[in-house]
């Protein structure tokens, strides 16, 4: 693991921090009070080149490494976790699967639009009964000539309603291991196939928008597919390869959520440090000692996030490391945000106080991109294999 960032990485981090302070910070209050998607802010991120950071330059992206991208994501999330998750989902799971698994024609058609921000990307895997165990999805994709006909429902889809394209997963009936009408499934993930589904696809609709505890301004919606017809040319990978593609995408996505959580944790830590002089003198020594311990946890989580990003950049297997990064960073974010809320006192219970927002935003990082309970299972499984 490198303990020193390159000049390019440091420069991109500084650029993202300046952008966050100048452009993201002024948009936070409106996002919190209206819960409206910050289209103008996303357009500004696009103009700044932030929506295509790790996409190869040949396809219109910035050509930056994964470490540089995660540093930028951390800086955006330090100011707004909602803006951070919009960026993370668009990039980690809405765009990079096409970089890694797309055909030349798919890359040529999609990547310049996604990297420039002309299109916003999303990732549609979760279903009402299939959250932590994605292998149990029931949305089907029946082959009909040169098309697939998709039917089913997706839930908790970030960027839904604003995204132009979705990396969406469905089961192809009749594939070896595909879910049968009875719901039985001989092997996990069998038959699951990935598709690139445009927002204007006939039979595709966005359902209800969720009102969430945190991440206000980030759309989270239901998707409804009623015999949505998708050309076979928009299948990503082969039939039955979707589960592998989803797992690969989620490794990067988990590191991205780790970077998001790290940004939240650093913001909460800075707020706690500023609040420390106002803690009653009799408790100040104890609070300072606790704050030092929390700072150490944040720094340890940061090293796990950066190590996982570096492994991903080098094309190394990192299922264990990405789970460790997401687990450690999200747990640290919740601990720091909770204690900061406590130290800030009654004022922090009002919606106008930043500690209240950080506390709400931190919690979801322990839940999405795989609950932390699932990540503990992943880590233990990887350790037992070695």
The CA distance from 305 to 309, in Å, is: 6
Q: What is the pLDDT of residues 351-385, one digit of tens each?
A: 879 999 999 999 999 999 889 999 999 899 989 98
* Residues assigned a catalytic role: 369
Beta carbons within 10 angstroms of residue 39's beta carbon: 10
* Choice among 144-153, 190-199, 284-293, 295-304 with the minimum mean pLDDT: 284-293
Q: What is the CATH number of domain 7-116?
A: 1.10.540.10
CA distances from residue 293 to 173, 264, 320, 331, 344 in whole angstroms, order as listed: 53, 17, 25, 13, 18
Query: In this predicted model, what pLDDT tens digit does every residue of 110-167 receive, in sequence order?
Result: 999 999 999 999 999 999 998 788 889 999 999 999 999 999 999 999 999 999 999 9
Among 79, 337, 370, 32, residue whose Cα is nearest residue 215: 32
pLDDT digits (tens, 9 = 90+) for 64-97: 999 999 999 999 999 999 999 999 999 999 999 9
Q: Provide mean pLDDT across the span 202-213.
A: 96
pLDDT for residue 194 is more than 80? yes
| Strand-pair partners of 198 | 165
**Which of 176-190, 202-216, 266-280, 367-381 is the least confident region?**
176-190
pLDDT in tens, 142-153: 999 999 999 999
Share of the chain above pLDDT 70, in %: 95
Pairing between β-strand 204-209 and β-strand 220-231 as defined by DSSP bridges: antiparallel
* Contact in structure between 165 and 196 (CB atoms under 8 Å): yes
pLDDT at 186: 42
For the entire predicted model, the pTM comes to 0.92
CA distance 297 to 259: 14
Stretch 327-347: mean pLDDT: 93
pLDDT band, residue 182 (cuts 50/70/90):
very low
Terminal CA-CA length for the chain: 20
On the question of pLDDT at 175 being above 80, the answer is no
Average pLDDT, the chain: 92
Going from N- to C-terminal start, the domains of the chain cover: 7-116, 121-240, 244-385
Residues 6+ apart with CB under 8 A from 176: 186, 187, 190, 191, 240
Judged by average pLDDT, the poorest of 43-47, 134-138, 244-248, 382-386 is 382-386
Q: How many residues are present in the chain?
A: 386
CATH number of 244-385: 1.20.140.10
The residues facing 228 across adjacent strands are 150
Please report the pLDDT score of residue 315 as a whole number: 87
pLDDT of residue 386: 66
Pick from 292, 306, 370: nearest CA to 336: 292
Residues 62/51, Cβ–Cβ less than 8 Å: no
**Between the CA atoms of 294, 298, 304 and 306, what dihedral angle is there, to the nearest 10 degrees?**
-170
35 burial type by CB count under 10 A (0-12 exposed, 13-18 middle, 19+ buried): middle
For the domain 121-240, what is the CATH code? 2.40.110.10
What the block records as the tokens of 297 is 């946890």
What is the structure's pLDDT at 350?
Answer: 87
Query: Is-same-fold flag (121-240; 244-385)?
Result: no
Q: Residue 177 has what pLDDT?
A: 46
């Amino acid at each position: 693991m490198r303990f020193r960032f390159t000049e390019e990485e440091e420069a991109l981090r500084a650029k993202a921090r300046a952008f966050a302070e100048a452009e993201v910070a002024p948009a936070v209050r409106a996002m919190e009070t209206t819960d409206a998607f910050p289209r103008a802010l996303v357009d500004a991120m696009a103009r700044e080149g932030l929506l295509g950071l790790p996409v190869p330059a040949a396809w219109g992206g910035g050509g930056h490494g994964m470490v540089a991208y995660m540093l930028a994501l951390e800086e955006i999330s330090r100011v707004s976790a909602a803006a951070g998750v919009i960026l993370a989902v668009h990039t980690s799971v809405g765009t990079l699967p096409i970089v890694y698994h797309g055909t030349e024609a798919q890359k040529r058609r999609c990547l310049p639009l996604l990297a420039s921000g002309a299109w916003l990307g999303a990732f549609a895997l979760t279903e009402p009964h299939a959250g932590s165990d994605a292998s149990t999805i029931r949305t089907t994709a029946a082959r009909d000539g040169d098309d697939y006909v998709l039917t089913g429902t997706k839930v908790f889809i970030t960027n839904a309603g604003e995204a132009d394209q979705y990396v969406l997963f469905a089961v192809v009936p009749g594939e070896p291991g595909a879910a049968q009408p009875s719901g039985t499934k001989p092997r996990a993930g069998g038959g699951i196939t990935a598709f690139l589904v445009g927002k204007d696809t006939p039979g595709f609709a966005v359902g209800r928008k969720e009102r969430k505890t945190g991440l206000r301004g980030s759309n989270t919606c239901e998707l409804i597919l009623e015999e949505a017809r998708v050309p076979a040319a928009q299948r990503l990978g082969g039939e039955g390869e979707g589960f592998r593609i989803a797992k690969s995408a989620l490794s990067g996505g988990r590191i991205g959520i780790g970077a998001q959580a790290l940004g939240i944790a650093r913001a909460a830590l800075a707020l706690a440090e500023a609040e420390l002089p106002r803690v009653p003198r009799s408790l100040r020594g104890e609070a300072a000692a606790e704050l030092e311990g929390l700072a150490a946890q944040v720094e340890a989580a940061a090293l796990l996030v950066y190590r996982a990003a570096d492994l991903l950049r080098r094309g190394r297997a990192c299922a264990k490391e990405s789970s460790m990064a997401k687990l450690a960073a999200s747990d640290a974010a919740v601990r720091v945000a909770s204690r900061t809320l406590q130290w800030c006192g009654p004022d922090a219970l009002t919606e106008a106080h930043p500690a209240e927002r950080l506390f709400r935003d931190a919690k979801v990082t322990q839940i999405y991109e795989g609950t932390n309970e699932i990540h503990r299972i992943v880590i233990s499984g990887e350790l037992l294999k070695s």
